[in-house]
Amino acid sequence: MINLPTWDQSLINKYNVSGPRYTSYPTALELAPGYTQEHLVEAINESNTRVLSLYIHIPFCHQLCYYCGCNKVITRHQSKADVYLDHLEQEIKSKAPLFNKYTVDQLHLGGGTPTFLTEAQMSRLVKLLNTHFTFTSSAQRGIEIDPRSLAPNMLITLKELGFNRVSFGIQDFNDDVQAAVNRPQDKQAVINIVHQAQTLGFKSINADMIYGLPLQSIESYKETIEQLIELSPDRVSVFNYAHLPERFAAQRKLKETDMPSPHDKLTMFKNTLERMLEAGYQFIGMDHFAKVDDELALAQRKGELHRNFQGYTTHGDCDLLGLGVSSISQIGNKILQNEKDLKPYYHAITVEGCAITKGIALGQDDMIRATVIKQLICQFELNKRTIETQFNIVFDRYFEQALGALQPLCDDGLVTMNNETITVTSKGNLFIRIICMCFDAYLQNQIKQSRFSRVI
Ligand SMILES: C[S@@+](CC[C@H](N)C(=O)[O-])C[C@H]1O[C@@H](n2cnc3c(N)ncnc32)[C@H](O)[C@@H]1O
Ligand code: SF4
pLDDT in tens, 416-425: 999 999 999 9
Indicate which atom in ligand 1 lies nearest the CA of residue 208: 25
pLDDT, one tens digit per residue, over 293-343 is 999 999 988 888 988 888 898 876 799 999 999 999 999 999 999 999 999
Task: Choose the weakest-confidence range: 90-99, 236-245, 359-368, 438-447.
Answer: 438-447
Ligand sitting nearest the alpha carbon of 115: 1
Residue nearest to atom 26 of ligand 1 (CA): 169
**pLDDT for residue 92 is more than 70:** yes
**pLDDT for residue 262 is more than 60:** yes
Q: For residue 370, what are the contacts with CB-CB under 8 A and spacing of at least 6?
A: 24, 25, 26, 362
User: Does the Cβ of 285 fall within 6 Å of ligand 2?
Assistant: no
User: Does the Cβ of 311 fall within 6 Å of ligand 1?
Assistant: no
Instruction: Give the residue-averaged pLDDT of 230-251.
Output: 95
Task: Answer for the pair 226, 186: CB distance below 8 angstroms, yes or no.
Answer: no
Indicate which atom in ligand 2 lies nearest the CA of residue 64: 5
pLDDT, one tens digit per residue, over 108-148 is 999 999 999 999 999 999 999 999 999 999 999 999 999 99
Distance 309 CA to ligand 2 centre (A): 17
What gap in Å lies between CA 304 and CA 65, rounded to an integer? 35
* pLDDT for 155: 98
* pLDDT for 74: 97
What gap in Å lies between CA 408 and CA 114, rounded to an integer? 45
pLDDT, one tens digit per residue, over 33-72 is 999 999 999 999 999 999 999 999 999 999 999 999 999 9
* pLDDT for 450: 47
pTM above 0.75, yes or no: yes
Indicate which atom in ligand 2 lies nearest the CA of residue 146: 3
Instruction: Give the residue-averaged pLDDT of 337-351.
Output: 98
Q: How far is CA 53 from the centre of its chain?
A: 14
Distance 444 CA to ligand 1 centre (A): 28
**pLDDT for residue 452 is more than 80:** no
Eight-class DSSP state of 123: H
Q: Identify the band that residue 428 occupies on the pLDDT scale cut at 50, 70 and 90.
A: confident
User: Does the Cβ of 144 fall within 6 Å of ligand 1?
Assistant: yes
Give the right CATH number for 1-23+364-456 from 1.10.10.920, 3.40.630.30, 1.10.1030.10, 1.10.3720.10.
1.10.10.920
Put residue 42 in one of left, alpha, beta given phi > 0 → left and psi -120 to 50 → alpha. alpha
Ligand sitting nearest the alpha carbon of 61: 2
Residues 60, 251, 182: CA angle, nearest 5 degrees: 60
Ligand sitting nearest the alpha carbon of 60: 2
**pLDDT for residue 11 is more than 60:** yes
Pocket test residue of 239, 272, 454 for ligand 1, highest count of atoms within 8 A of CB: 239
What gap in Å lies between CA 164 and CA 109, rounded to an integer? 12
Other beta carbons within 10 Å of 315: 20
Indicate which atom in ligand 1 lies nearest the CA of residue 209: 25
Q: What is the CATH number of domain 24-321?
A: 3.80.30.20
Task: Answer for the pair 269, 211: CB distance below 8 angstroms, yes or no.
Answer: yes
Ligand sitting nearest the alpha carbon of 248: 1
User: Does the Cβ of 72 fall within 6 Å of ligand 2?
Assistant: yes
Pocket test residue of 72, 115, 148 for ligand 2, highest count of atoms within 8 A of CB: 72
Instruction: Give the residue-averaged pLDDT of 160-176.
Output: 98
In a 13 Å sphere around the CA of 328, the CA atoms on its Cβ side amount to 20
Pocket test residue of 56, 144, 211, 216 for ligand 1, highest count of atoms within 8 A of CB: 144
Distance 403 CA to ligand 1 centre (A): 35
User: Does the Cβ of 68 fall within 6 Å of ligand 2?
Assistant: yes
Q: Identify the band that residue 3 occupies on the pLDDT scale cut at 50, 70 and 90.
A: low
Indicate which atom in ligand 1 lies nearest the CA of residue 146: 9
Domain boundaries, the chain: 1-23+364-456, 24-321
What gap in Å lies between CA 234 and CA 166, rounded to an integer? 10
